[in-house]
Structure 1
C-alpha cells in the first residue's frame, strides 16, 4: 500500500514541477516527502510552488540535492564564507553525507538565512548542499552540544528509522476511523506521572510519559504501562507536551522496553528534556536508588525524536495529524491538536499551560481549526485557587529584596531550574537595570545555568517583548553582567561570607541540591531572607519551613545538626507557570471553537472534579473526570 501511495505522490509532484527540474528520487522520510534533485535551485527558488505542492499532497516537503551534484566539502566551506556576511559570526560548519545537508552554526542565524531565505538559497545554488542553520547559544550549552553530536554521529541510523516511519505513516488506513478512546495511565486525579494512550481503529499514540518523583515507591512513581490496551509493539508514536519530569521522565524506559518508534516534541522540549532526564539519572545514582533505564536509553530517545515548530502540521500515524500550539507553561511547552481520521474528530491535549502573558512567554493558544474534545490540566482548578497578579507578585518580591539588602542580608530563592528561574532572572535584571533595587551580584547555582543556556539558543520561543529586546535592541537579559555562575564549593563559601547578594539555586522545594547547603549557611542570621516562589509539596523541607518550623534537623558533615531558623521566611505566589482557577475558566470560555467535551487531568481529585463541574454549569459543556486505568470514548 505504501509503494502505491508513494507512486501516486511522485506523479502529482512531477506534474507540478517545472519541466527542467531533474528529479533523481522521491522518498518518504518520517512524516516528510523528500525530493532529491540534480538542480535544486530550480525548485528552491520558487517558494510558492513548494507551498502549493505541499497543500495539494497534504504533506511536508523537503528539497535535497542528489549526491552527484554536491560540491567538494572544503570548497563548500570557502563558498559559504564568501556568500554569508561576516556579521553572521559562523562558529562551525560540518556535513551530513546521508541527508546531503551542510550544518551551519552561527551566532546570528538570520543572516545565514537572509531576507526571505535569499542567502541560504544562494548556498544551495552554488554548492548543492542544503543548509541546515542552527543558532550558536550566547551561553555555551553542554546539552545542546551533546544532542547535536548524537544526531551528527547517528545520521545513517536515523535516516533508516525515518524511512521505516515513513512507510508506517503512509501505509494507508485499514479500517474506517469511526471511534477514538483515551486510556488514563497516569496523572488523572493526581499530579505526577502524566501518561495517556490515544487509540483509534488504525493508531496507538502515547501522550506524555512522566514520573512522580515525590512518590514513596515505584508503584506510585511510574505510569500504568501494564494496562491491557497498551502494547509497545503496536505503539505508533509518543508525543511529549513539555520537558518537566512528570511529563517526560519515563520516556527512556520505553526504549529500554523495546520501543523503536518516534517521539514528537518541540526543539526546546527535546533539549530541556535531555537535561532533566540526565539529571534524574545522576541523582538516582548518587542516592543509590537505580532507575529502570540509563543514559544510553536517553541517547536512543534523542535519535528517535522528531522536532516540530508551533503551527507545523504533521502526519504521525495512518489516521492522526498533529499540530503543536504554544502552551505558555515553560520554554517549548506545547498543546497538541490531533486531527483524527479524515476530519471525524479533533482532540486537543493542553498539557500544563498558562493563560496569561508572562515575562518569559506568550499566553497559551485558545484558537484551533476544530476541537470536539479538550483534555486539560486542573492543577489549580479548585475555586479557592486564586493567585495574585504577576505584577503584584513582582512588586512584593522587589520590596522584600530591597529591605533585605538594606539591612545587609542575602536573599536565597530556591527555584525550579526550568521556567521559574528564567522568569525571575528577567524580572531581577530589569528592576536592577532601572535602579529599583541595589546593584548586587545575582548568583546562579545548580542546573539553572545550563537550562538558561538552552533558553538563549531558542529566543524565537520567548515572549514578544523578550524577542524585541534580543533581536531589535541588542539586549539579552540572560547574559547580563549581573549574573554570576557558581561552579564549586569554594565559590559558595566565598559568596556566603561576602557582601549582600541574591542567590537563585536548585532545588525548588529544598529536597536536595545546593539550595539546602545555602539554607544551612544562611538560616541563623536574621538579616537574610528565604523567598519561596513555587509549590512546596507535603513532606518537603520547604513545606516544613513554610509552616513555621524554627528548629530544623539536617545532616551536616555526616552528623545530624539542628539549625535555628532566624532568617526571614517569605512565600510569594503569582510566579506559577500554571493557570489559576480564574484563568482556567476564562480559557474554556474563550476556546474557539467551543468544545463538545472537556476531560480534566493533572490535578488533585477535588480540584479536577471542582473544575469539571464548574465548566459544565457555566458553559453547558459535557465534562468527565476519569481516574487512572479508566478508558474514555471521545468519539
Structure 2
C-alpha cells in the first residue's frame, strides 16, 4: 500500500463505463464489491469481464442481482477464491439463477462460457444472506451493513466500516414502484455513487407519459424488450393503468414467473407493492406469449413484452426477427444498450435495411443529478472522496462536473476502469 495511505481502491470495472461493476478494496481487510459483466457483443465474443488484476479478497460484498454486478461471481470460484459472498436473501436466490442463465447464453451462441456450471453450484454454497439494517463482521477489522437502495428487490447500499467509512450506493433509485426508497441516515468518508444519467434530471412521471405516448403512436405491433424482473413488472403496471389503451398485452412467461417470485420477498418490498403485483397477476389484460402463436399475435397488432432488454437473445430477439422488415411496427428500447448489442447498433444507425421503427423511451431506474445531490447533502457532506461509477462517458464526467459546481469543497471524481486510488 502507498506510504501514508489508509486505503487503496482498485477500479476493476464499471468506472467510466456501464457494466462489469467491480471494486477491489484494501484496508484492514481485502475485499471486492460486486463482480459483474459488461454485456457487449462483437464477432465471436460476448461480454467484457472485470480486469484481471492481482487480488486476494477475503470476502465479497454484493449490491444486487443484476448481470453487470453479479454475473461473473462463478469466475472467482474458477480462480480459486472460495470466499464468503455476503448479500441479501433475494440477491442470493436471484444471482444463482442469473449465473445459470448466463452460462446457457454462452452455450446457445456456441461460445465457451468463462466458468463451469459446477462453479455456479459452488458459488451457491458461498453466498451468505444478511438482512437489511443488521451489522455484521466479515473479518476482524471490518464491519458492514446493508441498507435498502430502491433499485431491485433486495438491492443494497453497502455501508463499510474499515480504515475509513465507505458508502457504496450500488444502483440506487428514488420513487420506485416496488422497492423502498434508499436509506440515507448515514454518514461516510468515502462515497461511490451512480452516474447512469450523467448531469441530467429524469422526471419519472413525465418519462412514463412519454413512454405511453410512444406505445400509443403505433397502430400495429409494439415490441418492448426488457428484463423479466424489475423493469418487466414496471412496464406492465404502467400499461394496465392506461384504461384507454386498446391493444392486447402479451408478456413472456418469465415476466409472470418473476412477478410471482417477487411475492416470495414481501418483506423487502415497499408498502403497496404486493397489491400491485397481485393486480398484474390477476389482470385479464395480460396474457402469456405462446411462441407457437407468435405470428398470429403480431398480425393482430399486439404489445409484446419480454427479455432481453438489449435485443441480444430470448423472445425479444425472436419477435424482432419477425417484425424487422415492417415499417408499421414499433420497437421501444427503454434502458441502457451496451456497445455491440443489437439494441445499441439500432440506436446508432449501424444496421442498414431495417424497416421497423425503433424509438428510445427511457424509464427511470437509477439516481439522476438531483437524487445524487440529495445523497451528498444527507450522507456525504463531509466526505474525503466521492467517486462516480456506473456511468458511460461522457456521463460520468458530466455528473462529476455538475456536482462540483454544487459542492465545490468536496473531492468528486469520475475515475476509469483500471485506476487505483489511494486515500
8 Å contact from structure 2 (residues 22, 34) kept in 1: yes
Give the deviation of 1:611 after TM superposition.
2.4
Provide the residue aligned with 1:444 in structure 2.
251
Give the deviation of 1:504 after TM superposition.
0.3
Structure 1 residues 545, 221: closer, same or farther in 2, change over 3 A?
closer
Residue 481 (1) aligns with residue 284 (2): yes
Structure 1 residues 210, 485: closer, same or farther in 2, change over 3 A?
same
Provide the residue aligned with 1:572 in structure 2.
361
Q: What SS does structure 2 have at the residue aligned with 1:324?
A: strand
Question: Considering only aligned residues, what root-mean-square deviation do their CA atoms show, in Å?
Answer: 2.7
Give the deviation of 1:625 after TM superposition.
3.4
Give the deviation of 1:365 after TM superposition.
2.4
Q: What SS does structure 2 have at the residue aligned with 1:515?
A: helix
Provide the residue aligned with 1:460 in structure 2.
267
Provide the residue aligned with 1:156 in structure 2.
none
Provide the residue aligned with 2:335 in structure 1.
534
Provide the residue aligned with 1:377 in structure 2.
194
Structure 1 residues 546, 192: closer, same or farther in 2, change over 3 A?
closer
TM-score normalised according to structure 2 size? 0.89
Q: Distance in 2 between matches of 1:244 and 1:478?
A: 23
Q: Which one of 118, 129, 135 corresponds to residue 296 of structure 1?
A: 118
Structure 1 residues 189, 529: closer, same or farther in 2, change over 3 A?
closer
Provide the residue aligned with 1:278 in structure 2.
100
Q: Which one of 365, 385, 397 corresponds to residue 183 of structure 2?
A: 365
Q: What SS does structure 2 have at the residue aligned with 1:213?
A: strand
Provide the residue aligned with 1:151 in structure 2.
none
Q: Distance in 1 between matches of 2:361 and 2:230?
A: 16
8 Å contact from structure 2 (residues 256, 281) kept in 1: no
Q: What SS does structure 2 have at the residue aligned with 1:335?
A: strand
Q: Distance in 2 between matches of 1:429 and 1:376?
A: 33
TM-score normalised according to structure 1 size? 0.61
User: Counterparts in 2 of 1:167-566, with a 5 A limit?
Assistant: 179-201=6-28, 203-214=29-40, 216=42, 221-227=48-54, 230-231=55-56, 235-340=57-162, 345-354=164-173, 356-368=174-186, 370-381=187-198, 383=199, 385-387=200-202, 389-404=203-218, 407=219, 409-431=220-242, 435-438=243-246, 440-445=247-252, 447-467=254-274, 475-487=278-290, 489-497=291-299, 499-547=300-348, 551-552=352-353, 565=355
Q: Distance in 2 between matches of 1:219 and 1:468?
A: 39
Provide the residue aligned with 1:596 in structure 2.
384
Structure 1 residues 254, 547: closer, same or farther in 2, change over 3 A?
closer
Q: Distance in 2 between matches of 1:458 and 1:594?
A: 35
Give the deviation of 1:447 after TM superposition.
4.1
8 Å contact from structure 1 (residues 426, 478) kept in 2: no
Unaligned runs of 5+ in 1: 1-177, 553-562
Q: What SS does structure 2 have at the residue aligned with 1:292?
A: coil
8 Å contact from structure 1 (residues 460, 467) kept in 2: no
Q: What SS does structure 2 have at the residue aligned with 1:214?
A: strand
Q: What SS does structure 2 have at the residue aligned with 1:183?
A: strand
Give the deviation of 1:280 after TM superposition.
0.9
Structure 1 residues 401, 184: closer, same or farther in 2, change over 3 A?
closer
| CA shift digits 1:72-118 (9 cap, x unpaired) | xxxxxxxxxxxxxxxxxxxxxxxxxxxxxxxxxxxxxxxxxxxxxxx
8 Å contact from structure 2 (residues 65, 98) kept in 1: yes
Q: Distance in 2 between matches of 1:320 and 1:379?
A: 29
Q: Distance in 1 between matches of 2:45 and 2:250?
A: 36
Aligned residues between the structures: 417
Give the deviation of 1:258 after TM superposition.
1.9
Provide the residue aligned with 1:584 in structure 2.
372
User: Counterparts in 2 of 1:84-233, with a 5 A limit?
Assistant: 179-201=6-28, 203-214=29-40, 216=42, 221-227=48-54, 230-231=55-56
Q: What SS does structure 2 have at the residue aligned with 1:209?
A: coil
Structure 1 residues 192, 537: closer, same or farther in 2, change over 3 A?
closer
Give the deviation of 1:218 after TM superposition.
7.4
Q: Distance in 2 between matches of 1:548 and 1:253?
A: 35
Residue 615 (1) aligns with residue 403 (2): yes
Higher helix share: 1
Give the deviation of 1:424 after TM superposition.
0.7
Q: What SS does structure 1 have at the residue aligned with 2:227?
A: coil
Unaligned runs of 5+ in 2: none
Structure 1 residues 606, 264: closer, same or farther in 2, change over 3 A?
same
Provide the residue aligned with 1:61 in structure 2.
none
Q: After the TM superposition, which of the residue ranges 586-595 and 329-338 deviates more from structure 2?
A: 586-595
Q: Distance in 1 between matches of 2:47 and 2:236?
A: 34
Question: Between Structure 1 and Structure 2, whose CA radius of gyration is higher?
Answer: 1
Higher relative contact order (CA 8 A, sep 6+): 2
Q: Distance in 1 between matches of 2:217 and 2:406?
A: 44
Q: Distance in 2 between matches of 1:187 and 1:321?
A: 24
